[in-house]
Structure 1
Amino acid sequence: MSGKRKEWFDWFKALSIAVIITFFIRLFLFSPVMVEGPSMLPTLQSGDYLIVNKMSYTIGDPERFDTIVFQATESKKYIKRVIGLPGEHIEYKNDVLYVNGEPILEPFLEDKLSHLNENQSYTFDFALEDIPGGYKTIPDGYYLVLGDNRNNSTDSRRLGLISEERFIGKAQFAIWPFNRIGLVS
Protein backbone atom coordinates (compact mmCIF):
# COMPACT_ATOMS: atom_id res chain seq x y z
CA MET A 1 0.00 0.00 0.00
CA SER A 2 1.39 3.39 -0.97
CA GLY A 3 2.05 6.02 1.72
CA LYS A 4 -0.83 8.25 0.58
CA ARG A 5 -3.26 5.34 0.47
CA LYS A 6 -2.22 4.12 3.93
CA GLU A 7 -2.70 7.63 5.32
CA TRP A 8 -6.26 7.77 3.88
CA PHE A 9 -6.99 4.31 5.24
CA ASP A 10 -5.73 5.31 8.72
CA TRP A 11 -7.94 8.41 8.64
CA PHE A 12 -10.92 6.32 7.57
CA LYS A 13 -10.30 3.83 10.40
CA ALA A 14 -10.01 6.58 13.01
CA LEU A 15 -13.16 8.31 11.77
CA SER A 16 -15.10 5.03 11.68
CA ILE A 17 -14.08 4.19 15.24
CA ALA A 18 -15.08 7.69 16.40
CA VAL A 19 -18.50 7.37 14.72
CA ILE A 20 -19.11 3.94 16.28
CA ILE A 21 -18.08 5.14 19.77
CA THR A 22 -20.30 8.23 19.42
CA PHE A 23 -23.22 6.05 18.29
CA PHE A 24 -22.91 3.76 21.34
CA ILE A 25 -22.47 6.67 23.77
CA ARG A 26 -25.60 8.33 22.41
CA LEU A 27 -27.60 5.11 22.26
CA PHE A 28 -26.76 3.80 25.73
CA LEU A 29 -25.25 6.54 27.91
CA PHE A 30 -26.03 10.15 27.07
CA SER A 31 -28.30 11.95 24.66
CA PRO A 32 -29.01 15.58 23.84
CA VAL A 33 -32.58 16.88 24.11
CA MET A 34 -34.09 20.30 23.49
CA VAL A 35 -36.66 21.88 25.80
CA GLU A 36 -39.80 22.77 23.86
CA GLY A 37 -42.41 25.01 25.42
CA PRO A 38 -42.87 26.79 28.76
CA SER A 39 -43.82 23.86 31.03
CA MET A 40 -40.56 23.86 33.02
CA LEU A 41 -40.22 27.63 33.53
CA PRO A 42 -38.48 29.12 35.42
CA THR A 43 -36.02 26.20 35.78
CA LEU A 44 -35.69 25.45 32.06
CA GLN A 45 -36.57 27.62 29.09
CA SER A 46 -37.80 26.71 25.63
CA GLY A 47 -34.73 26.27 23.44
CA ASP A 48 -32.43 25.06 26.21
CA TYR A 49 -30.36 22.04 25.19
CA LEU A 50 -29.76 19.41 27.84
CA ILE A 51 -27.70 16.26 28.21
CA VAL A 52 -29.78 13.32 29.42
CA ASN A 53 -28.08 10.56 31.41
CA LYS A 54 -29.70 7.36 30.12
CA MET A 55 -27.91 5.15 32.65
CA SER A 56 -29.09 6.99 35.75
CA TYR A 57 -32.16 4.79 36.25
CA THR A 58 -30.50 1.59 35.12
CA ILE A 59 -28.27 1.71 38.18
CA GLY A 60 -30.58 3.64 40.53
CA ASP A 61 -34.18 4.67 41.12
CA PRO A 62 -35.74 8.04 40.33
CA GLU A 63 -35.79 10.38 43.31
CA ARG A 64 -38.21 13.12 44.24
CA PHE A 65 -37.53 16.33 42.31
CA ASP A 66 -35.35 14.68 39.64
CA THR A 67 -35.84 16.37 36.28
CA ILE A 68 -36.58 13.55 33.87
CA VAL A 69 -37.18 13.07 30.17
CA PHE A 70 -39.79 10.52 29.14
CA GLN A 71 -41.44 9.33 25.95
CA ALA A 72 -44.89 10.96 26.03
CA THR A 73 -45.99 9.80 22.59
CA GLU A 74 -44.27 7.92 19.80
CA SER A 75 -42.74 11.15 18.52
CA LYS A 76 -42.81 13.45 21.59
CA LYS A 77 -40.49 13.60 24.59
CA TYR A 78 -41.52 15.55 27.69
CA ILE A 79 -39.34 17.03 30.40
CA LYS A 80 -40.93 17.09 33.87
CA ARG A 81 -40.05 16.85 37.54
CA VAL A 82 -40.66 13.72 39.64
CA ILE A 83 -43.03 14.65 42.48
CA GLY A 84 -44.58 11.37 43.62
CA LEU A 85 -42.84 8.02 44.12
CA PRO A 86 -44.29 4.48 44.23
CA GLY A 87 -46.26 3.77 47.41
CA GLU A 88 -47.01 7.43 48.12
CA HIS A 89 -50.20 9.46 48.25
CA ILE A 90 -49.79 12.95 46.77
CA GLU A 91 -51.94 15.99 47.40
CA TYR A 92 -51.64 19.74 46.87
CA LYS A 93 -53.47 22.21 49.11
CA ASN A 94 -52.86 25.95 49.01
CA ASP A 95 -49.63 25.54 47.00
CA VAL A 96 -48.20 23.03 49.48
CA LEU A 97 -47.15 19.53 48.42
CA TYR A 98 -48.28 16.81 50.83
CA VAL A 99 -46.69 13.37 50.63
CA ASN A 100 -48.57 10.83 52.73
CA GLY A 101 -50.08 13.76 54.64
CA GLU A 102 -46.73 15.43 55.43
CA PRO A 103 -45.89 18.85 53.90
CA ILE A 104 -42.80 18.86 51.68
CA LEU A 105 -40.97 22.01 50.52
CA GLU A 106 -40.32 22.48 46.82
CA PRO A 107 -37.14 24.62 46.85
CA PHE A 108 -37.16 25.15 43.07
CA LEU A 109 -40.51 27.01 43.40
CA GLU A 110 -39.72 29.19 46.43
CA ASP A 111 -38.94 32.32 44.41
CA LYS A 112 -42.05 31.94 42.26
CA LEU A 113 -44.31 31.34 45.27
CA SER A 114 -42.90 34.34 47.14
CA HIS A 115 -44.12 36.67 44.36
CA LEU A 116 -47.77 35.52 44.41
CA ASN A 117 -50.56 37.66 45.78
CA GLU A 118 -52.62 36.31 48.68
CA ASN A 119 -55.47 35.21 46.43
CA GLN A 120 -53.27 33.65 43.71
CA SER A 121 -52.51 29.95 43.40
CA TYR A 122 -49.52 28.47 41.59
CA THR A 123 -50.45 24.79 41.85
CA PHE A 124 -54.19 24.30 41.88
CA ASP A 125 -55.40 21.96 44.61
CA PHE A 126 -55.63 18.30 43.61
CA ALA A 127 -55.11 14.85 45.07
CA LEU A 128 -53.84 11.63 43.54
CA GLU A 129 -57.44 10.38 43.27
CA ASP A 130 -58.26 13.33 40.96
CA ILE A 131 -55.83 12.41 38.20
CA PRO A 132 -56.51 9.76 35.52
CA GLY A 133 -56.48 6.30 37.11
CA GLY A 134 -58.01 7.33 40.43
CA TYR A 135 -55.30 5.61 42.50
CA LYS A 136 -55.11 5.82 46.31
CA THR A 137 -51.32 5.37 46.23
CA ILE A 138 -48.85 5.36 43.36
CA PRO A 139 -48.30 1.77 42.14
CA ASP A 140 -44.84 0.21 41.80
CA GLY A 141 -43.05 1.30 38.65
CA TYR A 142 -45.08 4.52 38.27
CA TYR A 143 -44.39 8.15 39.13
CA LEU A 144 -46.33 11.39 39.39
CA VAL A 145 -44.58 14.11 37.37
CA LEU A 146 -45.31 17.83 37.10
CA GLY A 147 -43.87 20.72 35.15
CA ASP A 148 -42.41 23.57 37.19
CA ASN A 149 -44.73 26.00 35.40
CA ARG A 150 -47.81 24.52 37.05
CA ASN A 151 -50.32 26.72 35.21
CA ASN A 152 -49.01 25.75 31.77
CA SER A 153 -47.87 22.14 31.81
CA THR A 154 -49.18 18.91 30.35
CA ASP A 155 -48.19 16.49 33.09
CA SER A 156 -49.58 13.75 35.36
CA ARG A 157 -52.63 15.85 36.16
CA ARG A 158 -53.67 15.28 32.56
CA LEU A 159 -51.63 12.28 31.41
CA GLY A 160 -51.92 10.17 34.55
CA LEU A 161 -49.02 8.45 36.24
CA ILE A 162 -45.93 7.80 34.12
CA SER A 163 -44.42 4.33 33.92
CA GLU A 164 -40.70 4.11 34.57
CA GLU A 165 -40.51 2.06 31.36
CA ARG A 166 -41.18 5.32 29.47
CA PHE A 167 -38.30 7.16 31.17
CA ILE A 168 -35.44 8.01 28.85
CA GLY A 169 -33.22 9.34 31.61
CA LYS A 170 -32.37 12.12 33.99
CA ALA A 171 -31.73 15.62 32.61
CA GLN A 172 -28.42 16.47 34.21
CA PHE A 173 -26.61 19.21 32.34
CA ALA A 174 -27.66 22.26 30.30
CA ILE A 175 -25.29 22.87 27.39
CA TRP A 176 -27.00 25.68 25.46
CA PRO A 177 -27.33 28.65 25.46
CA PHE A 178 -23.92 29.44 26.94
CA ASN A 179 -25.31 31.75 29.64
CA ARG A 180 -27.38 28.84 31.01
CA ILE A 181 -24.66 26.13 31.01
CA GLY A 182 -24.63 24.11 34.22
CA LEU A 183 -26.24 21.35 36.21
CA VAL A 184 -30.02 20.99 35.95
CA SER A 185 -31.48 21.55 39.42
Structure 2
Amino acid sequence: MGKTKEKNELLEWAKAIGIAFIFGFGIRFFLFTPIVVDGASMMPTFENGDRVVVDKISPKLMKYERFDVIVFEAKENTNYIKRIIGISGDRIAYENDELFINGERYEEPYLEEYKKALIDNGTLTGDFTLEENLGELTVPDGYFFVLGDNRRNSKDSRDPSVGFVSMDKVLGTAKVVFYPMDNLKFIK
Protein backbone atom coordinates (compact mmCIF):
# COMPACT_ATOMS: atom_id res chain seq x y z
CA MET A 1 0.00 0.00 0.00
CA GLY A 2 2.88 2.40 0.66
CA LYS A 3 4.16 2.22 -2.91
CA THR A 4 0.69 2.88 -4.39
CA LYS A 5 0.31 5.96 -2.17
CA GLU A 6 3.75 7.22 -3.31
CA LYS A 7 2.81 6.65 -6.97
CA ASN A 8 -0.47 8.54 -6.53
CA GLU A 9 1.32 11.42 -4.82
CA LEU A 10 3.94 11.54 -7.58
CA LEU A 11 1.19 11.51 -10.22
CA GLU A 12 -0.63 14.38 -8.45
CA TRP A 13 2.60 16.41 -8.34
CA ALA A 14 3.21 15.76 -12.05
CA LYS A 15 -0.34 16.89 -12.86
CA ALA A 16 0.05 20.05 -10.76
CA ILE A 17 3.36 20.93 -12.41
CA GLY A 18 1.90 20.23 -15.87
CA ILE A 19 -1.14 22.43 -15.20
CA ALA A 20 1.09 25.21 -13.83
CA PHE A 21 3.28 25.00 -16.93
CA ILE A 22 0.28 25.17 -19.28
CA PHE A 23 -1.23 28.02 -17.27
CA GLY A 24 2.08 29.95 -17.30
CA PHE A 25 2.53 29.38 -21.03
CA GLY A 26 -1.03 30.58 -21.67
CA ILE A 27 -0.51 33.76 -19.66
CA ARG A 28 2.78 34.50 -21.41
CA PHE A 29 1.51 33.69 -24.89
CA PHE A 30 -1.97 35.22 -24.72
CA LEU A 31 -1.98 37.87 -21.96
CA PHE A 32 1.45 39.26 -21.06
CA THR A 33 4.92 38.80 -22.44
CA PRO A 34 8.29 40.23 -21.40
CA ILE A 35 10.51 41.99 -23.92
CA VAL A 36 13.96 43.54 -23.70
CA VAL A 37 14.34 47.11 -24.95
CA ASP A 38 17.11 47.17 -27.55
CA GLY A 39 18.56 50.60 -28.24
CA ALA A 40 18.08 54.19 -27.16
CA SER A 41 15.09 55.23 -29.29
CA MET A 42 12.71 55.48 -26.30
CA MET A 43 15.03 57.19 -23.81
CA PRO A 44 14.36 58.55 -21.22
CA THR A 45 11.14 56.50 -20.88
CA PHE A 46 13.02 53.22 -21.48
CA GLU A 47 16.73 52.57 -21.24
CA ASN A 48 18.62 50.09 -23.41
CA GLY A 49 18.32 46.69 -21.72
CA ASP A 50 15.17 47.46 -19.72
CA ARG A 51 12.83 44.52 -19.41
CA VAL A 52 9.24 45.51 -20.07
CA VAL A 53 5.92 43.71 -19.67
CA VAL A 54 3.77 43.90 -22.80
CA ASP A 55 0.05 43.73 -22.06
CA LYS A 56 -1.53 41.82 -24.94
CA ILE A 57 -5.07 41.58 -23.57
CA SER A 58 -6.14 45.12 -22.54
CA PRO A 59 -5.83 46.58 -26.06
CA LYS A 60 -8.15 43.82 -27.31
CA LEU A 61 -10.77 44.93 -24.77
CA MET A 62 -10.25 48.69 -25.22
CA LYS A 63 -9.04 50.93 -28.01
CA TYR A 64 -5.46 52.09 -28.29
CA GLU A 65 -5.16 55.73 -27.41
CA ARG A 66 -2.91 58.55 -28.48
CA PHE A 67 0.33 58.51 -26.44
CA ASP A 68 0.07 54.79 -25.53
CA VAL A 69 3.45 53.06 -25.74
CA ILE A 70 3.09 50.03 -28.02
CA VAL A 71 5.20 47.14 -29.23
CA PHE A 72 4.69 46.22 -32.86
CA GLU A 73 6.17 43.94 -35.48
CA ALA A 74 8.25 46.19 -37.72
CA LYS A 75 9.68 43.36 -39.84
CA GLU A 76 9.78 39.62 -39.51
CA ASN A 77 11.36 38.77 -36.13
CA THR A 78 11.92 42.47 -35.33
CA ASN A 79 9.71 44.34 -32.89
CA TYR A 80 9.82 48.06 -32.16
CA ILE A 81 8.62 49.91 -29.09
CA LYS A 82 7.27 53.41 -29.81
CA ARG A 83 4.63 55.90 -28.70
CA ILE A 84 1.38 56.42 -30.63
CA ILE A 85 1.22 60.05 -31.71
CA GLY A 86 -1.40 59.88 -34.44
CA ILE A 87 -4.49 57.73 -34.86
CA SER A 88 -6.63 57.22 -37.95
CA GLY A 89 -7.70 60.53 -39.50
CA ASP A 90 -5.16 62.71 -37.63
CA ARG A 91 -3.08 65.40 -39.33
CA ILE A 92 0.34 65.47 -37.62
CA ALA A 93 2.88 68.28 -37.74
CA TYR A 94 5.85 69.43 -35.69
CA GLU A 95 6.81 73.07 -35.61
CA ASN A 96 9.44 74.65 -33.33
CA ASP A 97 9.60 71.45 -31.23
CA GLU A 98 5.84 71.49 -30.62
CA LEU A 99 3.36 68.80 -31.62
CA PHE A 100 0.23 69.75 -33.55
CA ILE A 101 -2.54 67.24 -34.12
CA ASN A 102 -5.38 68.40 -36.37
CA GLY A 103 -4.10 71.97 -35.92
CA GLU A 104 -4.25 71.81 -32.09
CA ARG A 105 -1.07 72.04 -29.99
CA TYR A 106 -0.47 69.07 -27.65
CA GLU A 107 1.77 68.87 -24.59
CA GLU A 108 4.24 65.99 -24.33
CA PRO A 109 5.27 65.92 -20.66
CA TYR A 110 7.20 62.66 -21.14
CA LEU A 111 9.72 64.64 -23.26
CA GLU A 112 10.38 67.52 -20.85
CA GLU A 113 13.27 65.79 -19.05
CA TYR A 114 14.93 65.03 -22.37
CA LYS A 115 14.42 68.56 -23.76
CA LYS A 116 16.04 70.06 -20.65
CA ALA A 117 19.06 67.77 -21.05
CA LEU A 118 19.84 68.94 -24.61
CA ILE A 119 23.36 70.33 -24.55
CA ASP A 120 23.13 72.22 -27.85
CA ASN A 121 19.85 74.01 -26.97
CA GLY A 122 18.42 72.81 -30.29
CA THR A 123 15.10 71.12 -30.87
CA LEU A 124 14.41 67.54 -29.87
CA THR A 125 11.95 66.98 -32.72
CA GLY A 126 12.66 68.59 -36.08
CA ASP A 127 9.89 70.26 -38.05
CA PHE A 128 7.86 67.99 -40.35
CA THR A 129 4.39 67.19 -41.64
CA LEU A 130 2.89 63.86 -42.65
CA GLU A 131 2.69 65.05 -46.22
CA GLU A 132 6.40 65.95 -46.34
CA ASN A 133 7.55 62.65 -44.83
CA LEU A 134 5.00 60.11 -46.01
CA GLY A 135 2.99 61.79 -48.76
CA GLU A 136 -0.31 61.60 -46.84
CA LEU A 137 -2.40 64.39 -45.34
CA THR A 138 -3.79 62.20 -42.54
CA VAL A 139 -3.05 58.91 -40.81
CA PRO A 140 -4.84 56.24 -42.89
CA ASP A 141 -7.73 54.23 -41.46
CA GLY A 142 -6.47 51.21 -39.50
CA TYR A 143 -3.00 52.67 -38.89
CA PHE A 144 -1.00 54.63 -36.30
CA PHE A 145 1.73 57.22 -36.60
CA VAL A 146 4.39 56.42 -33.96
CA LEU A 147 7.50 58.17 -32.66
CA GLY A 148 10.27 57.18 -30.29
CA ASP A 149 10.71 59.47 -27.29
CA ASN A 150 14.39 59.99 -28.21
CA ARG A 151 13.38 61.94 -31.30
CA ARG A 152 16.93 62.58 -32.48
CA ASN A 153 17.80 58.89 -32.40
CA SER A 154 14.69 56.95 -33.36
CA LYS A 155 13.70 55.03 -36.45
CA ASP A 156 9.97 55.57 -36.43
CA SER A 157 7.01 56.63 -38.61
CA ARG A 158 8.90 59.68 -39.91
CA ASP A 159 11.08 57.22 -41.82
CA PRO A 160 9.29 55.86 -44.94
CA SER A 161 10.87 52.43 -44.29
CA VAL A 162 8.76 52.24 -41.11
CA GLY A 163 5.90 54.55 -42.10
CA PHE A 164 2.45 54.12 -40.66
CA VAL A 165 1.99 51.12 -38.36
CA SER A 166 -0.92 48.79 -39.12
CA MET A 167 -3.10 48.05 -36.09
CA ASP A 168 -2.78 44.38 -37.09
CA LYS A 169 0.98 44.51 -36.38
CA VAL A 170 0.58 45.77 -32.80
CA LEU A 171 1.46 43.14 -30.18
CA GLY A 172 0.30 45.16 -27.16
CA THR A 173 1.05 48.06 -24.86
CA ALA A 174 4.14 48.45 -22.71
CA LYS A 175 2.94 49.24 -19.20
CA VAL A 176 5.66 48.21 -16.74
CA VAL A 177 9.45 48.17 -16.56
CA PHE A 178 10.26 45.29 -14.22
CA TYR A 179 14.04 45.01 -14.56
CA PRO A 180 16.55 46.31 -13.63
CA MET A 181 14.95 46.98 -10.27
CA ASP A 182 16.27 50.57 -10.06
CA ASN A 183 14.27 51.36 -13.25
CA LEU A 184 11.07 49.73 -11.92
CA LYS A 185 8.11 51.91 -12.97
CA PHE A 186 4.65 52.05 -14.49
CA ILE A 187 4.35 53.83 -17.84
CA LYS A 188 1.69 56.54 -18.21
Task: Tell me, yes or no, whether TM beats 0.5.
Answer: yes
1:169 to 168, 172, 181: 172
Counterpart of 1:154, as a letter, is: K
Counterpart of 2:20, as a letter, is: A
Partner residue of 1:183?
Answer: 186
CA distance in 2, matches of 1:119, 1:173: 31
1:107-146 to 2 correspondences below 5 Å: 107-116=109-118, 120-132=122-134, 134-146=135-147
Shift of 1:118: 7.8
Counterpart of 2:43, as a letter, is: L
Q: Give the secondary structure class of the aligned counterpart of 2:89.
A: coil
Shift of 1:130: 2.2
Q: Could you list the per-position Cα deviations for residues 21-74 of structure 1 after superposition, in whole angstroms to 9, with x for gaps in the alignment? A: 111111111111110000000110011011111012211111111110001111
CA distance in 2, matches of 1:178, 1:117: 29
Counterpart of 2:146, as a letter, is: V
Segments of 5+ residues of structure 1 without an aligned counterpart are none
Q: Give the secondary structure class of the aligned counterpart of 1:40.
A: coil
1:1-185 to 2 correspondences below 5 Å: 2-116=4-118, 120-132=122-134, 134-158=135-159, 159-185=162-188
TM-score, structure 1 normalization: 0.95
CA distance in 2, matches of 1:37, 1:111: 19
Q: Give the secondary structure class of the aligned counterpart of 2:17.
A: helix
Across the two proteins, how many residue pairs are aligned to each other?
184
Q: Give the secondary structure class of the aligned counterpart of 2:171.
A: strand
Q: Give the secondary structure class of the aligned counterpart of 1:72.
A: strand
CA distance in 2, matches of 1:76, 1:9: 41
Shift of 1:119: 5.4
Q: Give the secondary structure class of the aligned counterpart of 1:36.
A: coil
Q: Give the secondary structure class of the aligned counterpart of 1:140.
A: coil
Shift of 1:116: 3.9
Superposition RMSD on alpha carbons, in Å? 1.4
CA distance in 1, matches of 2:123, 2:184: 31
Segments of 5+ residues of structure 2 without an aligned counterpart are none
% identical aligned pairs = 45
